[in-house]
Structure 1
Amino acid sequence: MLPIDEIRLNFNPASLVLLNWVLGFLMFGIALDTRVEDFRRVLSMRLAFGVGIAAQFIVLPAITFVLSLLLKVQPSIALGMILVACCPPGNVSNILTHQAKGNVALSVSMTAVSNALSIVLMPLNFAFWAHLHPTAAPLFQRIALSPWEMMGHIIAIIGLPFVLGIFIAHRWPALTRRVKRPVGIVSFLALIGFIVGAIAGNWRFFLDYTGVVLLAVALHDALALATGYGCARLFRVPDYDRRAITFEVGIRNAGLGLVLIFSFFGGLGGMAVVAGVWGFWDIIAGLALARLWARRPAAATGNVKAIA
């Protein structure tokens, strides 16, 4: 069995182009459920919002960096963990927050702002921690990835669909109300289908290497959820808001990670396996936590009441 740093997962170039469109469609669906007011709303939730953003873009990548060193994972696995940690959340976090009886208004607002910020912060954050990593840095430098090139790709598949979706939601609200749910469902199912397809097309590699990354992914995911919860608790954010922050920090858009891995890293083994396994484990762990919290409703002491 080849070392995981030396394998390259296969993905049809035509399928990769279609995956980019699917991800753009997913971001468009998130934007349809976003309003300009969501960005204004954060002004009334400054503490919770500030804690959540800092936990996502500063604390989680730093903790991921330390975890990869403690576990002594292979360089490509470390790069995969760092990339996933730098990805923005998706609308799954909003669904889980609703199921957990947390502050959905805060969750939706944070998802909108986090995705907007990630256009610039994600590639820069990833490049910073990758260059700093003692074992992954040489591999990252051999790839010679420009963060500005990645930023351009992210603008194309996140930024433009996001802006278009917000514009349509603002300009044609009645039409948006009719189409946003089916758009969201179709785009999410399409993304899951592509993740399944990527795994199925490289099934032998996943069978060989999933055991290598499963512990790292499980610990990383638990740590991501704990980071959101712990930061919120440290700053005495109410439980109602704390649940939203937990999922906003703990749920990462691994689908975006896969797109970037196949687009810029040639399907690098450890990175692709980490993102593929994370995409499923993240949802399983999030659902388990949401169900647990659903049995113990939080007092609606947040700044904004939950959206039904």
Structure 2
Amino acid sequence: MKEALEVLDHVRLNFSPAGLFALNVTIAFIMFGVAIDIKLQHFKDLLMNPKSVVIGLISQFVLLPSVTFLFIMLLGPTPTVALGMILIAACPGGNISNFMTAMAKGNVALSVSLTAIATLAATFMTPLNFALWGKLFVKYYNIAGAGTFLVPIEIDFFQMLQTVVILLGIPVAIGVLFSHYLPKITVKIKKPIRQLSIVIFIAFVIILLSANFDHFMRFIHLVFIIVLIHNGLALLSGFGAATIFKLPIADRRAVTIETGIQNSGLALVLMFNPKIFPPELELGGMTIIAAWWGVWHIISGFVISYLWTRKKIPQPSEII
């Protein structure tokens, strides 16, 4: 398995400057769609019901990156696959999580609040987590004498911070202002924008994978297993944390989905940013991991949501 993935590490994917621009616009559009749902009430909810929100944020920004790093240590994947997993874990929840939470009969208000707050927090937490865990992995890899593949990589926290602020901060600020000053229009366009953003992103991932179809088909059986386990650990981390702290069942479902659905589009944009990862680096593993995660977490999210729709939520007296 590792020998095959080592070949993937050195793969250069077909991705043009025009494609990168289109991906940036897509992510900005998705973030705008998330932002028009952000209301002052979400932050009031944090004050009124801090436990569920705090557990959800800790699950996303502390527990998931930690579990991911432990999984990497046990799995021993190749360098770019490992860094791809770390970057995915460092990203905030995806915009489809609110819909899946509603489908799963979870706490939609909590899900929306977590998405809103996590998106804002990600402008700092995503660069911080990737810099922290990424540097730790690079240091471990080089000390272990596994090779010199990662020597050229210097994880620049401030460059990534600048990029994330532009990608998330500006669209979110515009979305919040749009929602505040044009509430009637916001109500009309909110649902279509959310649906359209999901369709656009899925289409973009399909185009990316089809442009690199030979590489994708050659390594998908290996990447599939890694993403399957990684995503499963993300969902279990969210559910485990919510259960340990005895959150209501509906809140457990929301936290589980918010932790398991990651913004893989943001990860892809960061990977293709030449100021963060120089173009001469071969980062095939990172890209395939992020692209397939973007497909798989939708599948796993719908599956778990469907299973939960068939399971009755017990009364408070029945909750363990």
Residue 56 of structure 2 is aligned to residue 41 of structure 1:
no
Shift of 1:139: 4.7
Residue 13 of structure 2 is aligned to residue 9 of structure 1:
yes
Residue 309 of structure 2 is aligned to residue 294 of structure 1:
yes
Q: Is the 8 A contact 1:100 1:297 kept in 2?
A: no
Q: 1:284 aligns with which of 299, 310, 313?
A: 299
Distance in 2, matches of 1:167 and 1:3, equals 47
The residue aligned with 1:172 is: 182
> How does 1:115-126 map onto structure 2 within 5 Å?
115-126=119-130
The residue aligned with 1:113 is: 117
Q: 2:84 aligns with which of 70, 74, 80?
A: 80
Distance in 2, matches of 1:257 and 1:276, equals 9
> How does 1:166-205 map onto structure 2 within 5 Å?
166-205=176-215
Shift of 1:141: 4.9
Q: Is the 8 A contact 2:134 2:155 kept in 1?
A: no
Distance in 1, matches of 2:158 and 2:208, equals 26
Distance in 2, matches of 1:150 and 1:9, equals 22
Distance of aligned partners of 1:9 and 1:300 in 2 relative to their CA distance in 1, 3 Å threshold: farther
Which whole-Å deviations, capped at 9, do the CAs of 1:177-236 have from their partners, x for residues lacking one? Answer: 011122222222111111111111111111112222221110000000000000000111
Shift of 1:300: 7.5
Shift of 1:25: 0.7
Shift of 1:144: 2.3
Fraction of identical pairs, as percent: 39
Distance in 2, matches of 1:296 and 1:136, equals 48
> How does 1:153-164 map onto structure 2 within 5 Å?
153-164=163-174
The residue aligned with 1:306 is: none
Q: 1:150 aligns with which of 153, 160, 181?
A: 160
Distance in 2, matches of 1:15 and 1:76, equals 21
Distance in 1, matches of 2:310 and 2:230, equals 25
Distance of aligned partners of 1:241 and 1:300 in 2 relative to their CA distance in 1, 3 Å threshold: farther
Distance in 2, matches of 1:139 and 1:119, equals 29
Distance of aligned partners of 1:184 and 1:215 in 2 relative to their CA distance in 1, 3 Å threshold: same
Q: 2:228 aligns with which of 218, 226, 230?
A: 218
Q: Which amino acid aligns with 1:221?
A: N
Shift of 1:103: 0.2
Q: Is the 8 A contact 1:20 1:157 kept in 2?
A: yes
Which whole-Å deviations, capped at 9, do the CAs of 1:255-282 have from their partners, x for residues lacking one? Answer: 1111111224347111001011111111
The residue aligned with 1:70 is: 74
Give runs of ≥4 in structure 1 deviating > 4 Å: 136-141
Alignment partner of 1:34: what SS?
A: coil
Shift of 1:299: 4.7
